[in-house]
Amino acid sequence: MWSPRYLARLDFRVIPVILSLMIISLLVVSSYTIDPSTDHAEELFVTPIVKSQFQWFAIGVVVYFFFAGFDYRKLREWTWILYVLVLISLVGLFFTDSIQKVNRWYRIPFINISFQPSEYAKFVVVITLSWFLERRRSVADSWGTAFYASIIVGIPFILILKQPDLGTALVLFPITLVMFYFGDLRPSIIKAMTICGGLGLCLVAMIFLGVLPHETLRPYATKVLKDYQFDRLDPATHHQKAAATAIALGGITGTGWRKSEFSGRGWLPAPYTDSVFPAFGEEFGLLGLLLLMVLYYALIYFSFQVSAVAKDPFGRLLSAGVTVYLAMHILVNIGMMCGFLPITGVPLVLVTYGGSSILSTMMALGILQSIYSRRFMF
């Protein structure tokens, strides 16, 4: 089930990319968790939050190599157990005390950490869909396959939406669309989903570009969305303006590490979590952001190559779903911070501070390497 010999067959091009993203994360977290009342030059690099992030990265590396050596085909046997456990954990959130007025985390006592089931739910949905669509290959274009596949995605989607966590729930849509495509589902269904997704993006784009006035739509939109959810579609919120300002102040080369006046003084909300992209941009400028984009491009490019070399339908579906899972987090977070999408709290892969995001990402990357290292098996 687990064999170290497959670690010699990994795609070693991915490892420098992962390490570079981790270093960027530590730089940003260190910069924005220092005491603003002290001399930044004398402040140590390793703040308590940096130490916590480094510990999560260390655990993540262990998780990565474990799943890289693990035979991904064994996941078939655990699919429904994992799926049911995720549903139970999502339902259980509604019986816990809310954190920041939402029910997204379990607070684990004694060790003072939080656990966010929705981060793992997206990954488990990918595994479950891969297993299901592989089994239904002979009747992939039937309406029954589409119906049951939609149920698999729909249950966790609704539970995550009710937390409420609109951003995480919506990430499931493009994952499902791509997996339906790779699973050879009925073309009319894929076309309908693509049109619906495209219309939704066009509507959001028109709001953010000012073509459709935000307040004009409120009486209609609030019949479907809650007031605070609709308020996130306002392109003039403080968070949206602050993110754009931080990126603009960075210029070409940035203000320098720990020298940001805007984000460093607290004007940018959540600079090392949701807003890590503009926070990094202010200090390292356009050149720094271009480097970050190149690293993400390489990560997604190498990940999609796994789908091309996978030797079985389960591996092909699983690698495609995992790659889109990673890509959507990157695109949505950067889109939010650049003013193209509403800010919904989707983390930036391997850069945003947080244990649940790191572990689920490293697990996903490890599974991709497991598929890649077994590409010559029949």
Residue 40 has pLDDT above 60, yes or no: no
More confident residue, 155 or 222: 155
Question: Cβ contacts of residue 163 below 8 Å, gap of 6+?
Answer: 90, 93, 102, 103, 104, 118
* Calpha distance 36→51 (Å, rounded): 18
- What's CA 295's distance to the chain center, in Å? 16
Report, as an integer, the average pLDDT of 256-267.
87
pLDDT at 377: 57
* Calpha distance 99→165 (Å, rounded): 13
Percent above pLDDT 70 for the chain: 90
Report, as an integer, the average pLDDT of 36-63.
81
* Calpha distance 132→321 (Å, rounded): 13
Each residue of 75-111: pLDDT tens digit? 988 999 999 998 998 888 877 776 656 666 677 666 6
Range with the poorest average pLDDT among 131-145, 157-171, 174-188:
157-171
Report, as an integer, the average pLDDT of 48-54.
91
Report, as an integer, the average pLDDT of 23-39.
82
What burial letters (b/e) apply to 87-110, b meaning 16+ CB within 10 Å? Answer: bebbeebeeeeeeeeebbbbeeee
Residue 364 has pLDDT above 90, yes or no: yes
* The three-state (H, E, C) secondary structure of the chain, written as one string: CECHHHHHHCCCCHHHHHHHHHHHHHHHHHHCCCCCCCCCCCCCCCCHHHHHHHHHHHHHHHHHHHHHHECHHHHHHHHHHHHHHHHHHHHHHHHCCCECCECCCEEECCCCEEECHHHHHHHHHHHHHHHHHHHCHHHCCCHHHHHHHHHHHHHHHHHHHCCCCHHHHHHHHHHHHHHHHHCCCCHHHHHHHHHHHHHHHHHHHHHHCCCCCHHHHHHHHCCCCCHHHHHCCCCCCHHHHHHHHHHHHHCCCCCCCCCCCCCCCCCCCCCCCCCHHHHHHHHHHHHHHHHHHHHHHHHHHHHHHHHHHCCCHHHHHHHHHHHHHHHHHHHHHHHHHCCCCCCCCCCCCCCCCCHHHHHHHHHHHHHHHHHHHCCCCC
